[in-house]
Each structure stands twice: as structure tokens, then as C-alpha cells.
């Protein structure tokens, strides 16, 4: 008989939640604003209220959480990188939901959950060694080695947006925010967003073409370094940039090929994420089932 989880994906602007089966199928999905400005205590209360009707109406065997921030293994406390929700550091959504419903609860960092989703239902399916990168406002990631999520000694592995490249944090250069910041700097205009920068570049704007080329160079440099260190079978790229699709992937392949040593060129396949908009919920469920060793 199929087991069903209530799964949450807590982001800085919205909460996705619903039911995920033990085959990874999303059976029910809702999205509501996070209302992060109300703070951590209000967020925990909101999770309980969102969970209550689903648990009352469905046969739920547990609760799985994907969340922004660094998550301490075991306690489920938020221990850092959670500025979007005031006072979130130090609280435990896991404990709050366990106490409210007496169900087993797991919690994991959001990008780690995306990595798990890609291995279960997405572009890393079948790979035992892979990394997932989320390229959006910043750059985060998840690492899977021998089929297991690698969290590091203090649950902070994959925070490679902070790597130093060209004397700055990598994400300051190579995130979508970095792309837009550079477009504003070189043009003197303040009305750019990522979509507009790419559109101008594609339309032949030489200034924006140089901005995009430099951004690709910096993104590729970081990815090449990760390939050298981790030797993954696949590198899965998601986040805001994935909406550019195959064109972006072709440009990135070219930039990586120009920078990587020939012996490494065929070792790691670079692909776009494909687990979809509910990847956080799916990955959180995967984490729950793996914690119970039900696979």
C-alpha cells in the first residue's frame, strides 16, 4: 500500500505544500505566501495551521520539510543563512510539527532537497555521484556521493556560492543578481533584470553580449573547479537561470569546454534540472523515506 507524506517547501517568498507518495508523485499541491516579515514564530504557527486540515482528511504517515537556511542534523534547528525570515535561526520547524501532530518529521535544506529530487525523479536519476546547483539570486547546491546526500561536518556542505573567484564570492559574480549588477554598472541604467539582459544580448547589443559572456566565463570557472574537486557523473543546473533552457546550456557547455583540462572534459555531464516546480516537496519526501530506509 502506498505511503503518503505531507510535504512542505519553505522559501523566503512562498510556501509550497501538499501530499507526496512513496513513488515521488505529487498528489496534492498548494502555494501560499510565506509572510516572512511576520517572523519565525508566526511561520511555525502557519505551518501547523496549513497541516491541520490535510492531516485530518488524509492518511498521512509523516511530515517532510524542505526549508531555506542551514539545518542542524538531528535537532532540525535552523543554524544560519536564513536572513529572509526574522528570528528563524535557532528555531526548529521539525520540533514544532512533531509536537503538534505526533508524527515523524524530517527537515533538510532546500537545495539539498532539490538535489535529492533530481536523483529520484529528475536529471540525475541513475547517477550515484552528482551535484546540483541552483543559480538564482545566489548560488547554492547539494552534493550526492555514493547515492547519499553529503552534508559535511556541520551540515553546511554545498555553500559554494561563497567560494572566492576573482577576489569575490562566486555568487557575487555568477548568480543572476551578479549578472544584473554588472549590466547596471556598465550601462549606467538601473532598469535591468535577467530576462532583459539576455534579450538585449540575443538581439545584438554588444555591451550586453560582453556582460553575458563574462558572466558565463565566471559561472563556468566555478563549475570547472567543482568538477575537479568532486568528479561527479552529472552536474545538474537549476534555479532561475534554467528558464533560458537549451540555449543557456549550449553556451555553458562551450564556456566549460574552453576552461576544463581535456582529460576531464568527458567525465561529467552538465544538464538542466528537470524535477519541476515541486522539486523541493519531492526532495523533502525523498529525504523522509530515506531516513526510514524504506527504499
Domain range enclosing 18: 4-109+277-291
Examine the domain organization and report whether 135 and 268 are in the same domain. Answer: yes
d(CA 190, CA 238): 26
Is residue 116 in some structural domain?
Answer: no
Examine the domain organization and report whether 159 and 80 are in the same domain. Answer: no
Is residue 68 in some structural domain?
Answer: yes
- Identify the CATH number of the domain in which residue 63 sits: 3.30.420.40
Examine the domain organization and report whether 133 and 265 are in the same domain. Answer: yes
Examine the domain organization and report whether 235 and 142 are in the same domain. Answer: yes
pLDDT digits (tens, 9 = 90+) for 24-75: 999 999 999 999 999 999 999 999 999 999 999 999 999 999 999 999 988 9
| Total number of domains in the chain | 2
Please report the pLDDT score of residue 74 as a whole number. Answer: 86
Confidence of residue 293 (pLDDT cuts 50, 70, 90): confident
Is residue 40 in some structural domain?
Answer: yes
Is residue 115 in some structural domain?
Answer: no
pLDDT digits (tens, 9 = 90+) for 254-265: 999 999 999 999
Cβ pair 6, 50 in contact under 8 A: no
Examine the domain organization and report whether 266 and 286 are in the same domain. Answer: no
pLDDT digits (tens, 9 = 90+) for 122-141: 999 999 999 999 999 899 99
**Which class for 162: exposed (0-12), middle (13-18), buried (19 or more C-beta within 10 A)?**
middle
Examine the domain organization and report whether 163 and 132 are in the same domain. Answer: yes
Examine the domain organization and report whether 131 and 244 are in the same domain. Answer: yes
Is residue 183 in some structural domain?
Answer: yes
Q: What mean pLDDT, rounded, does the chain reach? A: 96
Amino acid at each position: 500500500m502506498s505511503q503518503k507524506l505531507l510535504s512542505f517547501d519553505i522559501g523566503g517568498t512562498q510556501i509550497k505544500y501538499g501530499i507526496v507518495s512513496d513513488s515521488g508523485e505529487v498528489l496534492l499541491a498548494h502555494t501560499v505566501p510565506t509572510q516572512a516579515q511576520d517572523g519565525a514564530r508566526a511561520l511555525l504557527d502557519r505551518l501547523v495551521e496549513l497541516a491541520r486540515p490535510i492531516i485530518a482528511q488524509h492518511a498521512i504517515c509523516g511530515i517532510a520539510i524542505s526549508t531555506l537556511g542551514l539545518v542542524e542534523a538531528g535537532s532540525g534547528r535552523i543554524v544560519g543563512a536564513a536572513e529572509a525570515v526574522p528570528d528563524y535561526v535557532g528555531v526548529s520547524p521539525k520540533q514544532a510539527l512533531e509536537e503538534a501532530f505526533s508524527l515523524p518529521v524530517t527537515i533538510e535544506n532546500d537545495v539539498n532537497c532539490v538535489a535529492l529530487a533530481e536523483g529520484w525523479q529528475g536529471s540525475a536519476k541513475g547517477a550515484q555521484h552528482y551535484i546540483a546547483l541552483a543559480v538564482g539570486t545566489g548560488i547554492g547546491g547539494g552534493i550526492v556521493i555514493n547515492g547519499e546526500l553529503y552534508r559535511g561536518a556541520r551540515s553546511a556542505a554545498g555553500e559554494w556560492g561563497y567560494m572566492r573567484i576573482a577576489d569575490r564570492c562566486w555568487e557575487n559574480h555568477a548568480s543572476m543578481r551578479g549578472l544584473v549588477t554588472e549590466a547596471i554598472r556598465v550601462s549606467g541604467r538601473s532598469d535591468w533584470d535577467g530576462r532583459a539582459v539576455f534579450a538585449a544580448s540575443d538581439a545584438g547589443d554588444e555591451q550586453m553580449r560582453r556582460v553575458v559572456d563574462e558572466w558565463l566565463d565566471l559561472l563556468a570557472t566555478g563549475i570547472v573547479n567543482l568538477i575537479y574537486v568532486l568528479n561527479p557523473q552529472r552536474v545538474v543546473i537549476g534555479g532561475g537561470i534554467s528558464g533560458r533552457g537549451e540555449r543557456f546550456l549550449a553556451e555553458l557547455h562551450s564556456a566549460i569546454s574552453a576552461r576544463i583540462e581535456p582529460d576531464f572534459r568527458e567525465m561529467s555531464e552538465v544538464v538542466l534540472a528537470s524535477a519541476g516546480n515541486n522539486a523541493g516537496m519531492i526532495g523533502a519526501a525523498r529525504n523522509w523515506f530515506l531516513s526510514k530506509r524504506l527504499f
